[in-house]
Structure 1
């Protein structure tokens, strides 16, 4: 067997390895689920999935002051990306910017009454899609182990 054939065989083994396949399944499932959620939220609530994520973050602790910078970090967006997103959300009356007390350079973001109402509708849509495509396909006995495993993966990634 010549070197090119050996390299081709090694390449095929690596590309078809269990680790590559399993990670690909995770990424593809997560991507398809995110697309389903985004489509449903846009159709039923005129809200993108990313906007929904902002409203989730703002709703977790209603009295918490959340800066635009913190939102960018939490959602892994660039500062220009979060600025454009908050601009669109402000234009749709979902959020408002308020000056940070004691720090003129920082801007806080808070939900409007309209934003909270849209979020509640969107949360029901989100729950329906997640139940159908994330919860229902997994055997009830396996679901807890599955989510515990995802939590452990996330923890390992944060700890490094």
Structure 2
């Protein structure tokens, strides 16, 4: 067999493998769901999905001091990326920065009253989209197994 044909056949088999296909389904579904959420949040609440993720972290434990650096780590953003994002959120009145007590280099971020109100509206929009496109398409008997499996994947990635 011609080496080029053999390589083409082998590449076609690899590209058509079950693992490539299954992982592609996961990525496509996650990407499309994230796009639907982002579109709905922008339209209904004038915030991006990433801004909503910041508000989740800030509202989850309102008395906890959360630094801009920690937000960057949680959201896998660069230092400049989180700075620009918090700048936009501060400009929209969603959050405010505070100097960290005892650490001149660190900045704490907290929600404003307006930010909490926007978060509550955004949480309802987010829940509607997730219910429609993530929960409803999955048979109820499979939903728990799906979420447990996703949790196991996340744990394996985090712990490795």
3-state SS, counterpart of residue 106 of structure 1: strand
3-state SS, counterpart of residue 99 of structure 1: strand
Question: Following TM superposition, by how much is the alpha carbon of 1:63 offset from its aligned partner in structure 2, in angstroms?
Answer: 0.5
Q: Distance in 2 between matches of 1:103 and 1:2?
A: 66
Correspondences of 1:55-94 after superposition (within 5 Å): 55-94=55-94
Q: Distance in 2 between matches of 1:104 and 1:11?
A: 55
User: What's the counterpart of residue 54 of structure 2?
Assistant: 54
Q: Which runs of 5+ in 1 are unaligned?
A: none
Aligned residues between the structures: 160
3-state SS, counterpart of residue 98 of structure 1: strand
Q: Deviations over 1:85-114 (max 9, x none)?
A: 000000000000001111111100000000
Q: Distance in 2 between matches of 1:61 and 1:154?
A: 22
Aligned-residue RMSD, C-alpha: 0.4
Q: Distance in 2 between matches of 1:2 and 1:102?
A: 70
3-state SS, counterpart of residue 93 of structure 1: coil
User: What's the counterpart of residue 36 of structure 1?
Assistant: 36
Q: Distance in 2 between matches of 1:100 and 1:27?
A: 38
Q: Deviations over 1:24-53 (max 9, x none)?
A: 000000000000000000000000000000
Q: Distance in 1 between matches of 2:159 and 2:39?
A: 33
Correspondences of 1:55-134 after superposition (within 5 Å): 55-134=55-134
Instruction: Give the ranges of 4+ consecutive aligned residues of structure 1 lying more than 6 Å apart after TM superposition.
Output: none
Q: Distance in 2 between matches of 1:71 and 1:25?
A: 29
3-state SS, counterpart of residue 104 of structure 1: strand
Question: Following TM superposition, by how much is the alpha carbon of 1:128 offset from its aligned partner in structure 2, in angstroms?
Answer: 0.1
Q: Distance in 2 between matches of 1:49 and 1:8?
A: 41
Q: Which runs of 5+ in 2 are unaligned?
A: none
